[in-house]
Every structure is written in structure tokens, then in C-alpha cells.
Structure 1
Amino acid sequence: MGEKLSTSLAKALFAEFFCTLFFVYLATSAVTSGCRTGDSARESGNNPNLTGNVIPGNCFLASSNLLGIAIAFGGSIAIFVYAAASFSGGHLNPAVSVAFWMSGKISAMRAILYVVFQCLGACTGSALVLAIDHIGYMAALGASNRLNTGINPANAWAAETILTCVLVFTVFAATDTTRSSSSGHLSVLAPFAIGLAVLLAHLVAVPIDGCSINPARSFGVAAVSHDWTHQWIFWVGPIGGGICAAAIYGILSAQNDKDEKLQSDLEEQQPTLRMPKYAGAAGVSVKQTNRAVAGAGVV
């Protein structure tokens, strides 16, 4: 476990808690606010003046505002990854924390504590949405993850695994500061890249199962809405995808290190011809130019 509770660790845990809280609150509020329409209230059975089939949560999985929901999730995660980065690394997702532990980037104790505080933050964020917008929350079932009509568990599991693998691979690539020495990589753009990956994942998977790719987000909403249907998919899929991403990026990084070492060895064995650097016009003074002209015999 190898890590003592320190001030920096405490700050990291609070950052994971509050930023996950704000992320879940903003992202799921975008869903529930869109479900406060007459059709949605009719579907959820929350408006006594309307009649119809009671289908709680249908307005989320079959939402016509798919792009808006995707932007809400992607934009929210980009903002709060940026906010938490200097304190905790900005994981906000158990799949990311487990992948970082598997790669040896954080200790087992830190990974476990991150997951606990992420789940607590998600529960609190979902509870705030319920307290503020009860009708919208019930119409959308809090934006809980569950399988849409015609989707079987294997389909959802595969989608969650693949999309989380894409997300976590993006996290590894975007936050790898060692790449900046050999490429144009800019780690300052990491939150933007991560948010864009989340946005694209939601465009793909909201019609399938509401798109989790984050076990804390699924757990927090399920705990408040009491909808635990197929909850295992939203843990096994994302964590499995995160581990796959860690393995893939580890292989690529190891190969890259081998290539760089081989290149370095070749450069040491074969001395290169050093050419004088060209200073350009800015490196030539007026006096030097006059001397050169006078030496050429030009009056």
C-alpha cells in the first residue's frame, strides 16, 4: 500500500470528491432539466394531469437532445479535470485510477481512496440534482445507466469496455509529459482531449445504455435513484477497458523507449559532422558588413 495519509493526499481526496460531485451534478442536471417537458412528465407519471405509459428514464435513453447531453458530459469533465489536476491528477473516474495503479503511477492505497471519494462525490452530486429538480430527476431516473430496448448485456459490456479503453488511452497519452521532449505534445491540452473523448463516447453510447465509462458516475446515480439494474456492466466494462488501455499504452511506451535507446547508442558509436550554425541576417553587424565590402575593393 505504501503511502501515508498526508496533507497532499488529503487535498487530493477532497479534490476528487468535490470535482466528481460538480461533474455529476452539472452533467446529469443537463439530462434532468431536459426531461421537465410535458411528454417526459407523461412518460414518468409525475404529472397527474397527464396520462400515458409510465416509462421512467425513457426521455434520457431516447433523447432527441443527444448532442447537448454529450456536450454537457464532455464539457463538464474537461472543466473539472483541469480544476483537480494540480491536486490529484484529475482522475474523477475509478477506471482511470485503477489503470494508473496498474501502471505503477499511483499506490494501491491512493487508488482505493480515490475510488471511495469519487463514489461519495457522485452520490452527493446526484442527491443534489434530486433535491433541486425532483420531477425532472424522476422523469430521467437521475440519468441512470441501464440498457435501452433491444440491447443485451453483451452489447453494453462491449461498448463500455471499448469506449473506456479509448478514454483511458487518451488520458495516458494526453498526460504523458515525457513525450514533449521528442514531439509537439502539449500536456496543457490534456483536459480538452479528455473532454472530447467523453463527448464522442456519449454520442455513441447514450442510446445503448446511457453511456457510463465511469463507474463512480453510475454508482452515484444508482444509489440515489435505487436503480441497480445491470450495475455490474458499468463496473466490469469500464475497469476492464481501463486496464486494456494501460496495457496498450505500456507496450507502446516500452517500444518507444527501446527505439530512443537504440538511436542514442547509434549516435554515440557514429560521430556526426557538426556544421556551423547559420546566424542569419540578425547575426551580422553593420561593421562586419562594411569590412566585407571594403575588403572586396568596392568604394
Structure 2
Amino acid sequence: MPTGNVYATTLDHPLPKNEARPGWIREPKGPGGPWTLVSAGLAEFFCTAAFLFIATGTVTSGCHTADTARQSGAATNELETVEPGACFLGSTNLLNIAMAFGLSIFVLVYAAASFSGGHLNPAITIAFFLARRISLVRAAVYVACQLAGAMVGSALVRAVDPLGFRAALGAANRLNSWASIGTGLGAEIILTAVFVFVVFAAVDQTRGGNSAHLPVLAPLAIGIVVFLCHLVAVPIDGCSVNPARSFGTAVVSRMWTHHWIFWVGPIVGGAAAGLLYEHAAYRAPIFGGPVEKLHREPGTSPAGPQEYTV
């Protein structure tokens, strides 16, 4: 692991329960200085942009296939006359879309892991902050870079394939005609909870000490769970489980219908799963958790600054 990614321990002894913990609010000082956080933010930005371009680009380019174009109302494969949004995510290209999201996350988490831990998702970043695994400063930088990267990635899709982008409304998340608000919100909460719990488990190097293959397979496990989430939820609402993914496409396509679902659902589900893993699986003596680390500060674990590295 690069030395620039390892934090210095901020406290020699735990502070009283109600006293502010500098490592949780401020970025702890490390050998890499502020450039460590800059490089991490850039990794989040570029990899999130690449994720949006590949994953949502699969949706928009799929609108040009003969069967999908016809279902969208086009007389031929051309999409000029198709109504905006006629090519919805819940189409015959479901498997292609799910694979594009899952495989792109697998590859890009691996690419960004040594720089930032490869969050690429505000729901994951917020869950790690609430579990006191990253500082508030780092969490804010990550979320800002993820949102900016998502907008750039979606804008590139629009520039490369304007007809497909228009037909699919930029692959923006929105409820299908049969789905209610409760259905969409419930699916986002449950699936993001499953997703984030798998993330925490996959990168748990403390428990992975008895099975050395786990850190290597972490990006694969994360990619597979994203793939499975999309198989379930693409026909419901296009599947978000990532507020940055939804925000980037909404900004560029100007599609804001029920957009709040794709923030509330992933954040609630992700936060619940992260806290559940942290307190019920990581620390709880009944499961053999490392009870000596009850006062762990961000970056003091050998797993690295974010405890989300492979």
C-alpha cells in the first residue's frame, strides 16, 4: 500500500465520549500532506465520470438497437422522431445495462482504490463517515468530487450520443409507470443496504486475516452486488443505489421527477447498513469483533485511511 495513503494516528488515548474527536472532523495529518486528499479527490472525480460515461452510455447506445428503437416508437433504427424518454431503462437491454453498471464499478473501484479507496458513491462515503472511518473533511471532498464527476460523465454521454441521450432522457432515474413512490423508495433503501453491507464486509481486513483472498476479491464482490441490484431495480426506477449517478444524469437531462427518492433511499439504506456492520459485526464481542478497537480513529487501522482499500 502506498505510504501516502496511511494516516498518522491522531490520538494516543481515547477522548471522553462527548469531546470532539479531531480525526473524525478534521483530516488527520499524514506523510503525504494535503496532496494525499487532493489525489484522492481527483480519483473520485475521474472514476465517477468514467463510471457514468460507461454505464449510462450503455443505456443510451442501447436505444439504437433495432428492437429497442421500435419499442421506443421509431419506424427504423433512427431515433430523431422518438419522444424524449421513450426509451426507458426497463427494456429488453436489462442484462446489458446491469452488466455495464456492475463491471464498470468492478474495474473503476480497483483503479481508484489505491488513491481514495474507490467510493464513487455518496451513500458509501456517508456510511463510512458515520462509521467514523473517514473524516468529515474527506467525506465532503469525496461527495463534491463524485457529484462533479457524475455531471461531467453524463455531459460526455450527451455530447457523444445526443439522439440516444434524448431518447433515454440521459438514463436519468425515474419511476416506471407501474411503480409507486413506496415501491421505488423501498427498493432503493433495501438494495443500497445490501450493497453497502457487502462493501463493508468485502474490505474488512481485520476479519479477512483468516482468508487472505478477501481483499483481492473486494472489487469483484462489489461489482457483482451492483449487477444484482440492477437486475432487481432497473424495471422499477432504473436503479440508483448511488445519489451521484442520479444527480449527474438529472442535471444534464433536467429530469427531476421524484429525484428525492434517489437521495433519501440510498443514504438511509447505506447509513443503516454501515452502522449495522460497524456495531453489530465489526465490534460486537458476540461475533468475535475486535473489541480492543472500540475507540478506533479514522486511519488508525492497518487497512488504510479509508478502510476501503483492496
TM-score normalized by the length of structure 2 = 0.78
Residue 254 of structure 1 pairs with residue 283 of structure 2: yes
Q: How does 1:128-167 map to 2 (within 5 A)?
A: 128-167=156-195
Distance 2:81 2:57 in 1: 24
2:261 equivalent among 203, 213, 233: 233
Give the number of aligned pairs: 262
Q: Which amino acid aligns with 2:258?
A: H
Distance 1:51 1:84 in 2: 36
Q: Which amino acid aligns with 1:79?
A: V
Q: 1:44 to 1:141 in 2, by over 3 A?
A: farther
Q: Quick check: 2:174–2:237 contact (8 Å CA) kept in 1?
A: yes
Q: Quick check: 1:57–1:144 contact (8 Å CA) kept in 2?
A: no
Runs (5+) with no aligned partner, structure 1: 263-299
1:207 equivalent among 225, 235, 238: 235
Match of 2:27 in 1: 3
Q: 1:17 to 1:159 in 2, by over 3 A?
A: same
Q: Quick check: 2:185–2:261 contact (8 Å CA) kept in 1?
A: yes
Distance 1:73 1:51 in 2: 24
Match of 1:281 in 2: none
Distance 2:57 2:78 in 1: 23
Runs (5+) with no aligned partner, structure 2: 1-24, 292-310
1:59 is paired with a residue whose SS is coil
Distance 1:155 1:36 in 2: 29
Q: Which amino acid aligns with 2:176?
A: N
Q: How does 1:96-111 map to 2 (within 5 A)?
A: 96-111=124-139
Q: How does 1:273-288 map to 2 (within 5 A)?
A: none
Q: Which has the larger radius of gyration?
A: 1
Q: Which amino acid aligns with 2:157?
A: V
Superposition deviation, residue 170 in structure 1: 0.7
Match of 2:145 in 1: 117
1:92 equivalent among 120, 125, 133: 120
Q: 1:140 to 1:52 in 2, by over 3 A?
A: closer
Q: Quick check: 2:105–2:223 contact (8 Å CA) kept in 1?
A: yes
Q: Quick check: 1:16–1:121 contact (8 Å CA) kept in 2?
A: yes
Q: Quick check: 1:169–1:245 contact (8 Å CA) kept in 2?
A: yes
1:228 is paired with a residue whose SS is coil
1:177 equivalent among 182, 194, 205: 205
Superposition deviation, residue 260 in structure 1: 6.2
Q: Which amino acid aligns with 2:272?
A: C
Match of 2:303 in 1: none
Distance 1:34 1:49 in 2: 11
1:90 is paired with a residue whose SS is coil
Distance 1:95 1:260 in 2: 24
Q: Which amino acid aligns with 2:116?
A: S
Moved more, 179-188 or 70-79: 179-188
Distance 1:78 1:187 in 2: 13
Which has a greater percent of helix?
1
Q: Which amino acid aligns with 1:91?
A: H
Q: Which amino acid aligns with 1:200?
A: L
TM-score normalized by the length of structure 1 = 0.81
Q: Percent identity?
A: 56
Cα displacement string for residues 138-191 of structure 1 (whole angstroms, at most 9, x for unaligned residues): 111111100001111111000000000011111100111101224455211110
Q: 1:39 to 1:55 in 2, by over 3 A?
A: farther
Distance 1:155 1:17 in 2: 31
Cα displacement string for residues 87-135 of structure 1 (whole angstroms, at most 9, x for unaligned residues): 0000000000000000000001111111110000000000000000000
RMSD: 2.6
